Chain A
Amino acid sequence: MDLGSINPVLLIAALLLASTPILLAAMGELVVEKSGVLNLGVEGMMIVGAVSGFMAAVESGSPTLGFLAAAAAAAVLALLFGVLTQVLLSNQVATGLGLTLFGLGISSLMGQGYVGIRPPASPRLELPVLSELPVVGPVLFSQHALVYLSLALVLGVWWYLRSTRSGLILRAVGESHEAAHALGYSVLGTRLAAIAFGGALAGLGGACLSLVIVPQWTEGMTAGRGWIALAIVVFGSWRAWRVLLGAYLFGGVSVLQLNLQAAGIAIPVELLSMSPYLITILVLVVISSDKRRAQVNAPNSLGRTFHASG
């Protein structure tokens, strides 16, 4: 197939960046769900991260401070969810949905004075020597720092859940909170920590949108990416590498279809438009089609309320 004016190097560079917000949010939610908590508020945490990061970056002039503020603000919001669901034992689904609505509302309130402002530029990370390599240099070694951070996080989360003692405890809490409690592990503490971590990553994902990809603050700018992240965690059957694959697949096909349109490739636009959803779902369904393994991966206590006095 003639790809016309599409430059594969630019395409890959674009897909890495476009996938990053979803990957970050999905990685966070993966850890949260592995601890047995279903937080449907990803969209709300992302957008609060987007606005907080934007505000902090504009006020301080430093994108780095912006990202830190985004992670912190979204983590605080997540902890609100944590206190409601873990301490006050509210319903997780309802509280999570509420968190999304709350996040969307408060973000537009917070961002009132920040519409139409340009944030300080977030420079690409030029790795010495490597970024000057032909072809692969601009693709792999000249991305924004968040792209590398998100990849490092995938590695970190995978290693943490698989090989560390604390990761094992987190999974135990997610599989059977009664058993973990009986063994003397703090279900509450573990879950609150996971929830805060998930919030921080969702916030970073949001700030990636408002400071790097778009970059500006607009109300409602996450436009459903939090929900995509949630779906990718499920389709990725709670495994870090599959979540990475899902996020890159979704982001990649999204960018690819826009490029195919721009290059005037004669494929029906309707097909191109739904392709990101279709292909991501298909591939992840196929690789997770082994029912037994999928069940093993789904945390057993997911979404169930735990009360220690029981």
Chain B
Amino acid sequence: MRKIVLLAAAAAMSMGLPAFSGSHGDGPVKAGFVYVGPIGDGGWTYEHHQGLLAVEEHFGDKVETVYQESVPEGADAERAMTQMALQGADIIFTTSFGYMDPTINVAANFPDVKFEHATGYKRADNVSTYSARFYEGRAVQGLIAGKMTKTNKIGYIASFPIPEVIRGINSAYIHAKKANPDVEISVIWVYTWFDPPKEADAAKALIDNGVDVVLQHTDSTAPQAAAAEAGVISFGQASDMSEYAPLPRVSSIIDNWAPYYIARVQAVMDGTWESVDTWDGIGPGMVEIGEITDAVPADVKAEAEALRDAIGSGEYHAFTGPLNKQDGSPWLAEGETADDGTLVGMNFYVEGVTGEIPN
């Protein structure tokens, strides 16, 4: 029987037909990864690459991986994905929000290749989406930030005005405000995921304007260096950034993609892959909170860890009412929690955040 399957597969391939999905005989599954920054960014892309390495480690010879770094969001991304698909990739992970439409377009041309798009919301029969509930980690950071700020001004380096980033700002602000009612948040939009000098300049601009806690939603460690020089505190983003611990980096959000990547590659091997939408947080371990350093007072640290555990166990939701939108209109009533639909498309600030979200 096995021989027949192999012969059929060989025949299919020799006729130039794509091998039918779900059965790969003994050949390795080929997994492709498209990265928005360099692996060495020390943040977002670095962690995705750790996921790739975990896949290699887990499957050994049964898997073959290929990746491309620093692929711009847009037309170039389609080229990179198409190239991977033509090279015989069975599953392609596209790891940035801006790859959403390119992923959908390329997936339509390669119905037998599985696509996995990170942080987006468009799916197809062969396109899954996956993301992490980073906002859960932002809640913990917000609490620490609110407790630690002396100037009552915290700063946030934001990349693009997309729901994922806006959720982070809101979550951080809500929990900073709970910890410290006088807190204000300044947001700078830099319109890039990775531009170390610009990220550094943004951090300096925040600090020059009186901010003493810097949160970032960009991928490099440049804001950490700026925070270190100015003597203010910061948080690792996407990766632990522990080289900046114990100060300025007092904690971090770590993206742990490895279990998901392994599970999805396994599904391709087993022929059980189907299009799903995964959105995991602290509980399942996709979002980890990096060690809270001793620069944070013990009681604040304990409070932050309690918040982390409450979110992880599902006992507490980071968006729990009463909460109003920025314009003062009610959003969540006392005790009500936000539904995923609203969170996925979040395009408003909560009450108290100043400034406008760019379109």
User: What residues make up the interface of A, taking CB atoms closer than 8 Å to B?
Assistant: 4-7, 10-11, 14, 18, 21, 108, 111-112, 115-118, 209, 213-216, 218-225, 254-255, 258-259, 261-264, 266, 268-270, 273
Asked if A219 and B41 sit within 8 Å, CB to CB, the answer is yes
The CA-CA distance from A223 to B186 in the complex, in Å, is: 25
Asked if A262 and B41 sit within 8 Å, CB to CB, the answer is no
Asked if A268 and B222 sit within 8 Å, CB to CB, the answer is no
The CA-CA distance from A255 to B86 in the complex, in Å, is: 44
Interface flag for B37 (CB, 8 Å): yes
The CA-CA distance from A264 to B153 in the complex, in Å, is: 12
Cross-chain pairs A/B with CB under 8 angstroms, 24 sampled = A10-B208, A14-B205, A18-B201, A115-B40, A213-B201, A214-B196, A214-B222, A215-B229, A218-B41, A218-B196, A220-B70, A223-B197, A225-B197, A258-B190, A259-B208, A259-B209, A261-B186, A262-B206, A262-B211, A263-B209, A266-B355, A269-B161, A269-B356, A273-B189
Asked if A5 and B195 sit within 8 Å, CB to CB, the answer is no
- Min CB–CB distance A68 → chain B (angstroms): 22
Asked if A258 and B188 sit within 8 Å, CB to CB, the answer is yes
Asked if B189 and A269 sit within 8 Å, CB to CB, the answer is yes
Q: In the complex, what residue of chain A is closest to B38 when comparing beta carbons?
A: A219
Chain B residues with CB below 8 A from A269, complex form:
161, 189, 356, 358
Chain B residues with CB below 8 A from A219, complex form:
38-41
Asked if B196 and A223 sit within 8 Å, CB to CB, the answer is yes
Chain B residues with CB below 8 A from A215, complex form:
225, 229
The CA-CA distance from A214 to B332 in the complex, in Å, is: 41
Chain B residues with CB below 8 A from A214, complex form:
196-197, 200, 222, 225-226
The CA-CA distance from A258 to B205 in the complex, in Å, is: 6
Chain B residues with CB below 8 A from A268, complex form:
356, 358
Chain A residues with CB below 8 A from B220, complex form:
218, 221
Interface flag for B152 (CB, 8 Å): no
Asked if B208 and A11 sit within 8 Å, CB to CB, the answer is yes
The CA-CA distance from A270 to B201 in the complex, in Å, is: 18
Asked if A223 and B195 sit within 8 Å, CB to CB, the answer is yes
Asked if A262 and B208 sit within 8 Å, CB to CB, the answer is yes
**Could you tell me which residues of chain B, from 220 to 245, have a CB within 8 Å of some CB in chain A?**
220-222, 225-226, 228-229, 243
Q: In the complex, what residue of chain A is closest to B239 when comparing beta carbons?
A: A116
A222, A255, A268 pick with most chain B CB within 10 angstroms: A255
**Could you tell me which residues of chain B, from 174 to 202, have a CB within 8 Å of some CB in chain A?**
186-192, 194-198, 200-202
Given A218-B40, A220-B38, A225-B197, A264 and B356 contact (CB-CB distance below 8 Å): no
Given A258-B205, A262-B206, A270 and B358 contact (CB-CB distance below 8 Å): yes
- Checking B41, B197, B358 against A213 with a beta-carbon cut-off of 8 angstroms, the contacting residue is B197
A112, A116, A261 pick with most chain B CB within 10 angstroms: A261
Given A218-B220, A220-B37, A221-B196, A5 and B209 contact (CB-CB distance below 8 Å): yes
User: What residues make up the interface of B, taking CB atoms closer than 8 Å to A?
Assistant: 37-42, 70, 155, 161, 186-192, 194-198, 200-202, 204-206, 208-211, 220-222, 225-226, 228-229, 243, 354-356, 358-359
- Min CB–CB distance B72 → chain A (angstroms): 11
Chain B residues with CB below 8 A from A213, complex form:
197, 200-201
- Checking A7, A118, A223 against B194 with a beta-carbon cut-off of 8 angstroms, the contacting residue is A223
The CA-CA distance from A255 to B198 in the complex, in Å, is: 9
- Min CB–CB distance A121 → chain B (angstroms): 8
The CA-CA distance from A86 to B187 in the complex, in Å, is: 50
Q: In the complex, what residue of chain B is closest to A217 when comparing beta carbons?
A: B40
Chain B residues with CB below 8 A from A7, complex form:
208-209
- Checking A115, A216, A262 against B205 with a beta-carbon cut-off of 8 angstroms, the contacting residue is A262
The CA-CA distance from A112 to B38 in the complex, in Å, is: 12
B40, B161, B194, B196 pick with most chain A CB within 10 angstroms: B196
The CA-CA distance from A216 to B229 in the complex, in Å, is: 12
Asked if A261 and B187 sit within 8 Å, CB to CB, the answer is yes
Given A216-B225, A219-B38, A5 and B210 contact (CB-CB distance below 8 Å): yes
The CA-CA distance from A255 to B202 in the complex, in Å, is: 8
Chain A residues with CB below 8 A from B201, complex form:
14, 18, 213, 254-255, 258
Asked if B243 and A116 sit within 8 Å, CB to CB, the answer is yes
Chain B residues with CB below 8 A from A117, complex form:
243
The CA-CA distance from A268 to B357 in the complex, in Å, is: 9
Chain B residues with CB below 8 A from A118, complex form:
225, 228, 243
